[in-house]
Amino acid sequence: MSASGTGNSGEVPTVLVKDSGGRDLLCFLEQLIPLDGEDYALLTPVDTPVCLFRLKDGEDPELIDAIADSEPILSVADVVLQEHDLTLVRSAVTLTVSGELDEPDPDDLDDEGEDDDDSETYELLVSFLVEEQEYGLYIPLDPFFVVARMVDGAAELVEGEAFDRIQPRIEAELEERELPN
């Protein structure tokens, strides 16, 4: 097979998703799923999604899932990431990091089959101190999917109750697609 760009190895289309707060996130369009006469899109962020955790000695890291854009913690994270030539982006859905990121090496990951609940699904990118409290930005190792509704060629983020309602149906549809006929 030649690598001349034929077949479906072409560019994956990208769409810009907006959330209710007006923030946006550039994503790759992975799948289109028609439900109830509307098109839903399964997307993955172009930049690397990251999650902010509060770190405490001897305790599991605590996920901080709601954070204000102006939060001082994020300003410190900005500075720390800049030292690595990375940029923290306050995107819709999730914080993302843009820049040349070292991809996690699968050989380095602990794959001895230990079930450590959530701790194995994240890799620490950077950690830093804010007012004597340690925080870490972690990269989720599982694929990070975003669900959006396509309206007139624009992608609107599906959030809250609407997401809770639609997510199981999208998962069921994807499972059906993956089954061989």
Q: At 133, which amino acid appears?
A: Q
Q: What is the pLDDT of residue 5?
A: 38
Q: In whole angstroms, what is the distance from residue 97 CA to residue 147 CA?
A: 20
Instruction: Enumerate residue ranges in the chain where pLDDT < 70.
Output: 1-10, 69-70, 102-120, 181
DSSP codes, 35-61: ETTEEEEEEEESSEEEEEEEE-TTS--
Q: What residue has token string 């959030």?
A: 159
Amino acid 116: pLDDT? 47
User: 40-71, pLDDT tens digit by residue?
Assistant: 999 999 999 999 999 988 888 888 877 776 67
- What was the pLDDT predicted at 70? 66
Give the pLDDT of residue 10: 66
- pLDDT, residue 3, reads 42
Tally Cβ neighbours within 10 Å of residue 42.
20
- Exposure string of 66-105, with b = 16+ CB inside 10 Å and e = fewer, is eeeeeeebbeebeebbeeeebebbbbbbbbbbbeeeeeee
* Measured distance CA(134)–CA(55) in Å, rounded: 5
Q: Where in the chain are the domains?
A: 14-45+144-178, 48-101+116-140
Q: CA separation (Å) from 61 to 65, 103, 120, 174?
A: 12, 22, 12, 32
Residues 53 and 135 sit within 8 Å (Cβ to Cβ) = yes
